[in-house]
């Protein structure tokens, strides 16, 4: 049966990995993001703003990034949800910032490449996330050697598996299978991780077979739809993947909906066919 591309574009989707950046024109950026999502059937976008390059910034430098997301959430309350970005090293600051962001309506925690996910510095964040049923979206990838020097503390599958052994109730998201590097390696490393460890399909690397491989290794129940800026590409590689309709529905919607329910939260809009209004 030929693929109905238009129907695939219009089917409802939850994008659990995207960004609104801390910058002067964040309003226009958030408007463009929402508009692009609407054209692709994306009913809600889970956004963060991060400090990259492994920089160990102070909480005073981190807070404006989260304030940008809080403002974007207020500007687009039916479309944008928030990830609270923190740097775990000064864990009291990180925990207080998470609580502040949760009070503002955010639904999870975003970590980047300042620490490996299984580093003891991250343990207080993992404990809080486990207790509160908060997902953690961790920047990740098994980088090739020539790129590893630029991100020496980037996490990959083995760090997720190790963290899940210590904190089996923690809901952990391995970011962007398409973010570069040896994606088959990092997926294989998570075969025996807790069922609360997921991977998202986002990233600008659109290698054929990524989605099918993740489903084969982890099960469709552990694969999430995200775009990380490559919006049409992410939609396309799920639509083109050799999956059952039940597996595709879990990736586009069902898994994210189930994770929201852990916090007693529902999708911003009920699942209905057609392009969001």
pLDDT in tens, 2-21: 678 899 999 999 999 999 99
Q: What is the pTM of this model?
A: 0.95
Cα–Cα distances in angstroms (integers) from residue 86 to residues 49, 108, 173, 191, in the given order: 10, 11, 15, 28
Tell which CATH classification among 3.30.830.10, 3.40.630.10, 3.20.20.140, 3.40.50.12280 matches the domain 83-261.
3.20.20.140
Return the residue matching tokens 């209905």.
272
In which residue ranges of the chain is pLDDT below 70? 1-2, 273-277
From the number of C-beta atoms within 10 Å of its C-beta (0-12, 13-18, 19+), residue 21 rates as: middle
Confidence (pLDDT) at 1: 55
Cα–Cα distances in angstroms (integers) from residue 101 to residues 38, 81, 270, in the given order: 26, 11, 25
Confidence (pLDDT) at 119: 97
Confidence (pLDDT) at 276: 43
Confidence (pLDDT) at 53: 85
Confidence (pLDDT) at 44: 98
Confidence (pLDDT) at 149: 82
């Amino acid at each position: 049966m030929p693929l109905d591309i238009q129907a695939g574009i219009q089917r409802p989707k939850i994008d659990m990995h995207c960004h609104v950046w801390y910058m002067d024109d964040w309003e226009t950026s958030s408007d463009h993001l929402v508009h692009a999502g609407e054209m692709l059937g994306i009913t809600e976008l889970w956004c963060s703003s991060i400090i990259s390059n492994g920089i160990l910034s102070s909480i005073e430098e981190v807070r404006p990034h989260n304030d940008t997301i809080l403002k974007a959430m207020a500007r687009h309350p039916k479309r944008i949800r928030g990830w609270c970005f923190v740097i775990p090293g000064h864990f009291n600051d990180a925990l207080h910032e998470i609580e502040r962001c949760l009070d503002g309506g955010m639904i999870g925690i975003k970590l980047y490449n300042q620490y490996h996910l299984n580093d003891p510095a991250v343990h207080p964040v993992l404990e809080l996330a486990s207790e509160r049923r908060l997902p953690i979206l961790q920047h990740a990838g098994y980088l090739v050697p020539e790129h590893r020097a630029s991100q020496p503390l980037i996490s990959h599958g083995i760090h997720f598996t190790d963290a899940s052994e210590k904190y089996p109730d923690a809901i952990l998201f391995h970011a962007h299978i398409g973010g570069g590097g040896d994606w088959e390696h990092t997926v294989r490393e998570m075969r025996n991780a807790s069922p609360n460890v997921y991977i998202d399909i986002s990233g600008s690397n659109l290698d054929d077979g990524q989605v099918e491989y993740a489903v084969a290794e982890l099960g469709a129940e552990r694969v999430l739809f995200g775009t990380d800026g490559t919006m049409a590409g992410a939609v396309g590689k799920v639509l083109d993947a050799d999956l059952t309709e039940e597996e595709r529905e879990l990736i586009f919607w069902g898994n994210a909906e189930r994770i929201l329910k852990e916090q007693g939260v529902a999708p911003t809009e009920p699942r209905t066919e057609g392009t969001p209004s």
